Amino acid sequence: MTKNQLIYILLLILIILTINISTLQHDQQSIQDHSESDLPHYLLIAKHIAGQQPTLQPRTYQYPPLYPILLLPTLQQDTITYILLLDILLSLLTLIPLTKIIDQYTHNLYLSTTTATSILLFNIIFSIKAYGYPMILSTLLLTTLFYTLQHINKDKKHLITASITYMLLIMTKYVFFYLTPFILLWVYYTNQKNIKHTIKKTVYLYTPAIICFFIYSIYNQLQFGNPIGGYNSLTNTNAFMGIFIDTIPSKLSSIYTNLEPNIIITYYMIYIIMLSLIYLYTNKRKLPSFTKIYNPQTLTYHKLLFINFTIFFLLPAMTYNRPYLNWRYLAYATPAYLAYAAIPILLIFKETALQLAKRL
């Protein structure tokens, strides 16, 4: 990294910090005014970990412990300010995997960091402060996982990083078990459909996550007599996987009538449009470097990303007896998907600029 590149990155970080800090007072009031929040449950788990809360209700201890552990320093302090500052820090850290996702294709740090910063500033998930969910933590970990999974066959470092990241995801939200088809299929195809190698890599990726999940479940069983708490509601006999069929029409209509579902689905539509653009250019081979970058393995990864979105849309986003789409289960992945969506446009821009420069 050159001196000019470092100065440019520091300038972008300063812009992010300035914008986030300028909204702190508004965000504090927003959290105080919002009634629907999981934050009290995470704080109760944090107090239980610290020995201040002897008993918990199933609705509370269903949540994994990673986010409550991060809340431990704030139990005797200004909780809201701490959470907002933590969100800012996690947002800045998310800039790293977002930049890496883009830079691995563009090989232009200025384009990569500028695009990643734009996603950071304009994606709705980084501006939602009132819900009390570990949204930005989940986003940081999921974006890191998407990047490292692409490189698990290059060296063991990326495989170990992906394994640890997935473990941390499971210890943040159990919903990330729905990533299983995406991960398994990717490992299978990158190992040339070799079952033996696929099993070996899968064991590497899943062992830490499964061990942590069972340890926490056993702890809950010993402490409260229930391993997964309120998540037992997902096994309701009247609703397959927690999906109430009669609420599906209203959930689908909420995409058009509710702001958050509308924006989140729009992000994915942008990705799908860009995915179509990728296939258009690779089939017609209009841009040589473009078709070289989007090789069969890369195209497979994008196909699996599309399948992954479909699974999350059809399952966790449709769960619970609510009249609106559970958009937050889709929101975690949107920064990474927008980063992947930006890449073909950046490549076309970069190659067009090079061709113009040659003509001049």
Tens-digit pLDDT profile for residues 252-270: 999 999 989 999 999 999 9
Q: Is the pLDDT of residue 300 over 70?
A: yes
Q: Would you say 329 and 175 are in contact if contact means Cβ atoms under 8 Å apart?
A: yes
Q: In angstroms, how far apart are the furthest CA atoms of the chain? A: 75
First-to-last alpha carbon distance for the chain, in angstroms, is: 29
Among 345, 274, 267, 259, CA closest to 309: 267
Task: Check residues 355 and 50 and name the one with the higher pLDDT.
Answer: 50
pLDDT at 338: 97
CB 129 within 8 A of CB 27: yes
- Tell me phi and psi for residue 243, to 5 degrees: -100, 120
Average pLDDT over residues 320-342: 93
CB 156 within 8 A of CB 118: no
Supply the mean pLDDT for the chain. 88
CB distance 139 to 267 below 8 Å: no
Choose the weakest-confidence range: 48-52, 132-136, 272-276.
132-136
Is 234 or 230 the better-scoring residue by pLDDT? 230
> Is the distance from CB of 224 to CB of 56 less than 8 angstroms?
yes
Check residue 175 and give its pLDDT: 94
Tokens of 39: 């934050």
As a whole number, mean pLDDT of residues 54-73 equals: 90
Banded model confidence at residue 171, pLDDT cuts 50, 70, 90: very high
Residue type at 58?
A: P
Residue that is written with structure tokens 């001196």 in the block = 3
Average pLDDT over residues 293-303: 89
Most confident of 29-38, 117-126, 279-288: 117-126
| Out of 1-5, 226-230, 239-243, 295-299, least confident range | 239-243
pLDDT band with cut points at 50, 70 and 90 for residue 32: low
Residue 35 has pLDDT above 60, yes or no: no
Per-residue confidence at 36, pLDDT binned at 50, 70, 90?
low
Higher pLDDT residue, 337 or 293? 337
Percent of the chain residues topping a pLDDT of 70? 91
